């Protein structure tokens, strides 16, 4: 595979929606993904895509994470590679692109959350040098 990493464009919305739906399990349409991509705050977030032969096979969405209680970090909001394109280095290249971006914005590290059932992803993150530092329970209130 000849994988190329680049910043995402609004034209990638269909591919990102498909990956989000099929590989992450979220109900995501290309229209929704397009609106989100068009509305990115480029001063504090970035989306990178992995392409193989001009086809988007994965993406990573990262944001600046600033809190009152710790130094600036970057937070991975989403990382996914199409199931038929995994184990080819795309995920590693996406993580590396996000880490480079994090350094550029002055972050001291990268944090991410991963669902308890995504054990394959956990192995991938550990192999990329990430440590599991705590267990959390996510709370959500919709309006």
User: What pTM did the predictor assign?
Assistant: 0.89
> What single string gives the DSSP state of each residue in 61-102?
EEEEEEETTEEEEEEEEEEEE-GGG-SSSHHHHHHHHHHHHH
Closest CA to 111 of 95, 90, 87, 123: 95
Rounded Cα gap, residues 98 and 110, in angstroms: 8
**C-alpha–C-alpha distance, residues 54 and 126, integer Å:** 29
For 101, other C-beta atoms within 10 Å of its C-beta total 20
Domain layout of the chain by residue ranges: 3-127
Could you list the pLDDT tens digit for every one of the 143 residues in the chain? 799 999 999 999 999 999 999 988 899 999 999 999 999 999 999 999 999 999 999 999 999 999 999 999 999 999 999 988 888 899 999 999 999 999 999 999 998 877 777 767 887 888 888 888 877 777 878 89
How high is the pLDDT of residue 4?
Answer: 95
**Residue 49: per-residue pLDDT:** 97
Cα 18 to Cα 22: distance, rounded to the nearest angstrom? 6
Contacts 24+ apart (CB under 8 A), 85-88: 85/1, 85/50, 85/52, 85/57, 85/58, 88/1, 88/3, 88/52
Given this structure, which CATH class describes domain 3-127?
A: alpha beta
SS3 for 11? helix
pLDDT (0 to 100) of residue 68: 95
């Amino acid at each position: 595979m000849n994988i190329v990493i680049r910043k995402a464009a609004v034209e990638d919305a269909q591919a990102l929606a498909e990956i989000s739906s099929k590989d992450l399990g979220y109900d995501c349409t290309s229209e929704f993904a397009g609106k989100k991509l068009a509305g990115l705050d480029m001063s504090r977030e970035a989306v990178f895509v992995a392409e193989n032969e001009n086809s988007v096979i994965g993406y990573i969405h990262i944001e600046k994470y600033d809190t009152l209680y710790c130094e600036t970090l970057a937070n991975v909001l989403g990382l996914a590679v199409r199931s038929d394109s995994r184990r080819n280095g795309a995920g590693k290249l996406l993580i590396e692109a996000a880490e480079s971006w994090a350094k550029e914005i002055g972050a001291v590290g990268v944090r991410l959350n991963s669902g308890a059932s995504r054990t394959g992803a956990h192995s991938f993150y550990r192999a990329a040098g990430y440590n599991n530092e705590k267990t959390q329970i996510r709370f959500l209130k919709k309006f």
